[in-house]
Structure 1
Amino acid sequence: MVTDKEAAKEPCPAVDADLVQRLRDCYDTFMAAEPRILRRKMNRQLSYQACEDVAHEAYLKVARKVMKGQLGPDVQLAGYLRRTSRNLALDTLRQQARLSSLEETGLHMAVPGQRRSADDFDPMEELVVPTIDAMPLSRPRKVVQLQSQGLDDRQISEVLGIETDRVQRDRYSALIELRGRLGGYIRDGHRKKTTRRVEKDR
């Protein structure tokens, strides 16, 4: 049995207050978008409620790591939360597959695995989202993060507490920065079309 004196001697983990605040700031955005994204990623094999549960569990799992000092200040929280929720969703599907195989011998549910071919390459997931996560912390970054997660202008304005015209201006600023960062991946013809479209929307 551990006495109070012995417990007092155990060093407390160093908790990064800024990281804790960033995690808190992520909650509404993450929980608003992740269940819908998870359901799509899992080929609708999980119910929306199950995806909500997985997203919440993922957030709590990451929160525990933050509070234990297991994540450094440079961690990309949005990406880390997404990876954690995807892994938990896959574990849930595998568990369902095992239960199903017990009930129906020889029948196994297909579980999404790693990408295996170039045809499965997802530019949004592989290029755009990581580039957004690497942008400096700002409201324009939050706007395009929310948009990349499927929220429309009205939903974004509600989450951030700003007017929709401010959402549009912030998105324009973010798109200029994103075009600069992703310039090497954009073909010349498409870059011109994109530029004209953005200027028209301005």
Structure 2
Amino acid sequence: MKSIAIFCGSSSGANFTYTSAAKDMAAAIVERNLRLVYGAGSVGLMGVVADEVLRLGGQVLGVIPQFLVDMEVGHTGLTELIVTETMHERKLAMAEASDGFIAMPGGIGTLEEIIEAFTWTQLGVHAKHCGLFNVHGYYSHLSGLLDHMVKERFLKDTHAEMLHMGADAGALLDLVMSKQGMDRQGKWLG
């Protein structure tokens, strides 16, 4: 079974659209017979997407550091749970367990996670695609920043194209999961 890592907020955000979109993403994951890999939180959009995948009969792997378990924010009803010592170990475990990455709306942690996964793709550490679920225009400003980076020659067009963006959960999942990555010379195959 292929797996998709979803990075998202431990808050539900200011707009109900985010919660609705989390449920749409969960349904799209289950419809495609993908396993959800996420940060194992029980609150915010993290809890919503995990609860909905489970409710629909899907598989969920949560990865959480011990200090968050100690704060009682971990989800207790997952298919599988990995408890790590550090945040770095958490991100590595999630990356190793996943075939692609999507960021839903979230805060600094969500942004940091998708940018790190995207950087690893750009550098050839892995050949997994990344996506931004642009719910309610949430990532439009980041898209503009990436365009600016390309214009100022700090980011290559070919690298910017490795980060997909869309507002339809199913279409974005299909795009991220259907790409084939890069060959050994760093040429994009997808």
Normalising to structure 2: TM-score of the pair?
A: 0.28
For normalisation by structure 1, the TM-score amounts to 0.27
Larger Rg: 1
- Relative CO higher for 1 or 2, CA cutoff 8 Å, sep ≥ 6? 2
Give 1 or 2: higher helix fraction.
1
